[in-house]
Amino acid sequence: MCAPVGHTATEQAGPGGLTATEHRLDNGLRLVLSEDHLNPVAAVCLWYDVGSRYEVKGRTGLAHLFEHLMFQGSAQVKGNGHFELVQGAGGSLNGTTSFERTNYFETMPAHQLELALWLEADRMGSLLAALDEESLENQRDVVKNERRQHYDNVPYGTAFERMIALAYPEGHPYHHIPIGSMADLDAVTLDDARAFFRANYAPDNAVLAVVGDIDPEQTRRWAEKYFGSIPSHGGKVPPRDGTLPDIIGAELRVEIREEVPARALMAIYRMPRDGTRECDAAELALTVLGEGTSSRLYNRLVRRDRTAITAGFGLMRLAGAPSLGLLDVKASARAEIPQIEAAVDEELARLRTEAPGAEEMERAQALTEREWLDRLATVAGRADELCRYAVLFGDPQLAFTAVNRILGVTAEEVRAVAAARLRPDNRAVLAYEPVTSEDTAAPAGDQASAAEENDKRDGARQ
Amino acid sequence: MTDAAVTMDFHPQPPPGQAKPWAFPVPGRGALGNGLTVLHCHRPGQQVVAVQICLDMPLDVEPDGLDGIAAIMMSALAEGTSKHTAEEFAAEMERCGATLEASADYPGARVSLEVPVSRLPKALDLLAEALHTPTFPSSEIERLVRNRLDEIPLEMANPGRRAAKQLAQELFPASARLSRPRGGTEDTVAPIDAAGVRAFYQAHVRPGRATAVIVGDLTGVDLDTVLAGTLGGWTGDAAKPVPMLPVTPAGTGRVVIVDRPGAVQTQLLIGRTGPDRHDRVWPALVLGTYCLGGTLTSRLDQVLREEKGYTYGVRAAQRVLRSPAPHAAGRAMGVSVLAISGSVDTASTGPALDDLWKVLRKLAAEGLTETERDTAVQNLVGSAPLKYERAASVARTLAEQVEQHLPDNYQAQLYARLAETSTTEATTAVIAAFPVNRLLTILVGDTSQIKAPVQALGIGDVEVVTG
């Protein structure tokens, strides 16, 4: 049975009067519902509390490869039936895997909502009835090609993977990125996949959000009908602890000589965890420094010094480990890395010592608010945010108030987080020096120790 | 839980409920005193308003030897105005929470503004300033030119971009603007200067040759007053018609390899030219192309991805490059590129192309099935309400209609026509679009690994280029 829990009594209206209710089935599945009748569409989003941080040594990439297997059929859905049925109903769908979660989503014409719920329930409850060696072998090849396409065959494609491996030490659950290594992908067995499903795919390890042109009572009945009999798992193994000191302690640095088209300076700074006020302050600090075309770094490097073609600095929020500040500067043809780095350091030092002025705060807040309006502008975007706050912070309602928390941050708090975190001793740096193909045969310093991985967004998609 | 034992209760697949009506919005149309055409569309709930300014300025109008001047001029609109320096202008826009992008494409140029509705008047004021009183400071033009020169090698390092450049070069004669990159090459960008940019602006940017598309939740917005006080102040000469040179597409069945020693994948781009949206075959072409390669369950990915694992995904699609008004003189000048694209691991290049051609031959021999056609229609038509949730998506499609000289109800009509298109029509269209003996194949990959297996396929003579 469904029983309302938590915050339904203190339902808060978000931007545009958005609200959500939360319910829990007896098997532990959390259900979040949010009505919006402006368009005849409904989004279904299912977050499983499992991501690459759960993977063990020798099996990197398993969570994402498994996500692919979720599209290969279940007891009542043959082969590619999941894709065929959703698309044939006028829906769109996909799944993605990040460090901290795996999500599956369908956006449907409203009258096809029930089909999406039926499909998600079928694979949650009966995937192993269909999972076989042939699917595994096929999707292993597909994922290896995904890795080649997005990481290995692209200039700077492995930068993120290398920086992550530097910033999170060996053995840390975030030391590798979700795509995994080729060797580990090769090593996955059918038994690994089955064990992964049994350990992580269960109603009590998931949040289901349904947003849009829905009848909440009817949707609850459908959720109960299709998901209600799936046994809960119980005894979930918590993720390995991702706690690290606030500061790396000394700059980590790798010079990379590779066949890339331009010099580049990239870095990861260790930032406060998501869910803290310091993390919200960090978002504004990085917006002041590196978002848009009038940020401090853009004005300095691209407009005035003219040493860079692009200059960006953004925040990747993480809840189970320190978040990441990602710096990415592509150099102009004549510029050298040391002059760029000196300018970056000057700009960081300025923010560490002096709070941003009112106009800069206004700009950072306006851009942040805009980003939230974009995220919440579609039913799918809203469903994903509701799942995020439910899975990572236990309360979906936080999605509607997130932007207000960021807007409440003061200029002094922005300065303080910069002083605490945006320091040379708190970064892992990659400096790219282009070489021609003949040069690459020569040993290229010590970068071989870095693992491989790269995705500026939060995961690998189906 | 024991192994594969399933303990849940199963239910039959549920039938759909009652579909609710939805139609692609037909915009309101008007004009300002300065000649600017306005299309507006109220989309409840869409707090971020999308504005598209379409300039009737196809790339054909660029002066000889200065390919890329349109793109530089469009970017420079925001880099200094009568009231603001480049830095001030960008900061003012971003304090509105606005994003502004400018681009120049073969059919026309565009400025795209997205801004929360609460700051729409302020952002439109800035936009009007950029369109009406850009100053094109020499120093900013120099910076944009240098930046563009630095960007070209970055773009060409991307295998997909490199393949697209080669395809255009092979499909069209060198004299046609369509054969050359939108943003120009090193040789044509280097000589661009502020004087040239100013002259180009004077010749081509004026309200009488522009359309403003405005989409979003306009509740409480007095659009007429806001527009009169902003874009209404933009002045310029009366519009002059844009001449358009005829293009005779070249191209027969052959293969060009762009050599990338050591590449772990081969980028494929296989295509030829096709008609524009004015052509009656368009809905059948859309439908047939979707069945061939629109999604993971289409014919190409069924084999290349889901059966063989050669790729993360291969897609077939069409892109309109030029689309003059249907009653313009020499009407047959509309042109699109129809192409299959994707990447496969280097070792699988030969087998993947072999399978790809087998898919095309089977399609040509047997045609599409009724089920395939029905599923495609249900997806293409059924997914429209979700595809057009955002104001920006609606604005983009309306802007494309303007740019391609299509009627305001084109997209709405397209859905009706897709639903009427038969399996036979879709089959005929897609077979004509991808004839196995007349496809141009661009491969960006490691020649030493792929040339021999590709030659062995007999899909055309193989030429190797570098760079």
Q: Which of A88, A107, A260 minimises the CB distance to B379?
A: A88
Question: Three-state SS for A208?
Answer: strand
| CB atoms A374 and B381 under 8 Å | no
Average pLDDT over residues B242-247: 65
| CB atoms A261 and B296 under 8 Å | no
Residue A289, amino acid: L
Under 8 Å CB-to-CB from B336, ≥6 apart: which residues?
A: B273, B274, B275, B276, B318, B319, B320, B321
| Partners of B442 in the β-ladder | B256, B269
Strands B210-216 and B37-42: parallel
Sheet of B440-445, strand order: B311-322, B335-345, B265-274, B440-445, B254-259, B461-465
Distance from CA of B94 to the nearest CA of A (A): 6
Count other C-beta atoms under 10 Å from residue A103's C-beta. Answer: 25
| CB atoms A359 and B146 under 8 Å | no
Assign 3-state DSSP to chain A and report helix, strand, coil percentages, each to 5: 45, 20, 35
Task: Supply the mean pLDDT for chain B.
Answer: 94
User: Is 0.90 exceeded by the ipTM?
Assistant: yes
DSSP B205-268: --GGGEEEEEEE--TT--HHHHHHHTGGG---PPP-PPP---------SEEEEEE-TT-SEEEE
Distance from CA of A359 to the nearest CA of B (A): 8
Q: Taking Cα atoms as reference points, which of B111, B113, B109 lies closest to residue B123?
A: B113
pLDDT tens, residue by residue, B195-215: 999 999 999 999 999 999 999
Quote the percentage of chain B above a pLDDT of 70. Answer: 95
Distance from CA of A422 to the nearest CA of B (A): 23
What distance in Å separates the CA atoms of residue B303 and residue B311, rounded to the nearest whole number?
10
More confidently predicted of B160 and B325: B160
Average pLDDT over residues B50-54: 98
| CB atoms B19 and A111 under 8 Å | yes
Work out how many CB contacts closer than 8 A connect A with B: 244
Residues of A in contact with B384 (CB under 8 A): 90
| CB atoms B265 and A16 under 8 Å | no
B44 → chain A, closest CA residue: A38
| Partners of B343 in the β-ladder | B267
A75 → chain B, closest CA residue: B6
User: pLDDT per position in chain A (462 positions), as tens?
Assistant: 333 333 333 334 455 678 999 999 999 999 999 999 999 999 999 999 999 999 999 999 999 999 999 999 999 999 999 999 999 999 999 999 999 999 999 999 999 999 999 999 999 999 999 999 999 999 999 999 999 999 999 999 999 999 999 999 999 999 999 999 999 999 999 999 999 999 999 999 999 999 999 999 999 999 999 999 999 988 788 889 999 999 999 999 999 999 999 999 999 999 999 999 999 999 999 999 999 999 999 999 999 999 999 999 999 999 999 999 999 999 999 999 999 999 999 999 999 999 999 999 999 999 999 999 999 999 999 999 999 999 999 999 999 999 999 999 999 999 999 999 999 999 999 999 999 866 554 333 333 332 222 333 334 444
Q: Is the dihedral of CA A156, A158, A162, A168 positive or negative?
A: positive
Q: Which of A89, A146, A379 minimises the CB distance to B378?
A: A89
Q: Which of A90, A153, A302 minimises the CB distance to B265?
A: A153
**Domains of chain A by residue range:** 3-227, 252-461
| CB atoms B310 and A141 under 8 Å | yes
pTM of the model: 0.94
What distance in Å separates the CA atoms of residue A289 and residue A314, rounded to the nearest whole number?
9
What distance in Å separates the CA atoms of residue A231 and residue A227, rounded to the nearest whole number?
9
- Same-fold call for A3-227 versus A252-461: yes
| Partners of A313 in the β-ladder | A327
User: What pLDDT is stored for residue A441 in this prediction?
Assistant: 43
pLDDT tens, residue by residue, A417-458: 999 999 999 999 999 999 986 655 433 333 333 222 233 333
B301 → chain A, closest CA residue: A142
Architecture, CATH, for domain A3-227: 2-Layer Sandwich (3.30)
User: What pLDDT is stored for residue A235 in this prediction?
Assistant: 75
Virtual torsion, Cα A349, A353, A359, A362, nearest 10 deg: 90
User: Which residue in the block uniquely carries the two structure tokens 């034992």?
Assistant: B5
B264 → chain A, closest CA residue: A153
Measure CA A289 to chain center.
Answer: 22
What distance in Å separates the CA atoms of residue A220 and residue A225, rounded to the nearest whole number?
9
Q: Taking Cα atoms as reference points, which of B99, B127, B72, B74 lies closest to residue A292?
A: B99
Residues of A in contact with B307 (CB under 8 A): 138
Q: Which of B93, B116, B157 minimises the CB distance to A155?
A: B157
Average pLDDT over residues B406-429: 97
Instruction: Find out whether A162 and A43 touch, Cβ atoms under 8 Å.
Output: no
Residues of A in contact with B7 (CB under 8 A): 125, 229, 231
B383 → chain A, closest CA residue: A90
User: What pLDDT is stored for residue B239 in this prediction?
Assistant: 64
Q: Read off the DSSP letter of residue A232.
A: P
In this predicted structure, the answer to whether residue B315 has a pLDDT above a threshold of 50 is yes
| CB atoms B97 and A367 under 8 Å | yes
Q: Read off the DSSP letter of residue A5.
A: -
User: What pLDDT is stored for residue A461 in this prediction?
Assistant: 47
Residues of B in contact with A378 (CB under 8 A): 389-390
Q: Which of B96, B308, B378 minimises the CB distance to A90?
A: B378
| CB atoms B8 and A230 under 8 Å | yes
Residues of A in contact with B149 (CB under 8 A): 333
Residue A338, amino acid: P
Q: Which of B89, B94, B113, B311 has the highest number of chain A CBs within 10 A, making it the mutation to test binding with A?
A: B94
In this predicted structure, the answer to whether residue B253 has a pLDDT above a threshold of 90 is no
A15 → chain B, closest CA residue: B47
| CB atoms A111 and B18 under 8 Å | yes
| CB atoms A155 and B158 under 8 Å | yes
Q: Is the dihedral of CA A353, A358, A359, A363 positive or negative?
A: positive
| Phi-psi domain of A27 (left: phi exceeds 0; alpha: psi -120 through 50; beta: other) | alpha
Average pLDDT over residues B171-194: 95
| CB atoms A309 and B149 under 8 Å | no
What distance in Å separates the CA atoms of residue A29 and residue A24, rounded to the nearest whole number?
6
Q: What angle do CA A266, A271, A272 make, to 5 degrees?
A: 165
B407 to A32, A129, A332, B403, B410: CA distances (angstroms): 42, 52, 44, 11, 5
Q: Give the CATH class of A252-461.
A: alpha beta
DSSP B294-358: SSTTSHHHHHHTTTT--EEEEEEEEEEEE---TTSSSGGG-EEEEEEEEEEEGGGHHHHHHHHHH
Virtual torsion, Cα B261, B267, B272, B275, nearest 10 deg: -140
Q: Which of B4, B150, B263 minimises the CB distance to A153?
A: B263
User: What pLDDT is stored for residue A11 in this prediction?
Assistant: 39
pLDDT tens, residue by residue, B165-182: 999 999 998 889 999 999
Distance from CA of B333 to the nearest CA of A (A): 34
| CB atoms A125 and B296 under 8 Å | no
Assign 3-state DSSP to chain B and report helix, strand, coil percentages, each to 5: 45, 20, 35
Residues of A in contact with B114 (CB under 8 A): 370
In this predicted structure, the answer to whether residue B450 has a pLDDT above a threshold of 80 is yes
Residues of B in contact with A236 (CB under 8 A): none
Q: Which residue segments constitute the domains of chain B, with CATH numbers given?
A: 28-233 (3.30.830.10), 254-465 (3.30.830.10)
Q: Which of B85, B381, B386, B466 has the highest number of chain A CBs within 10 A, making it the mutation to test binding with A?
A: B386
Residues of A in contact with B151 (CB under 8 A): 309
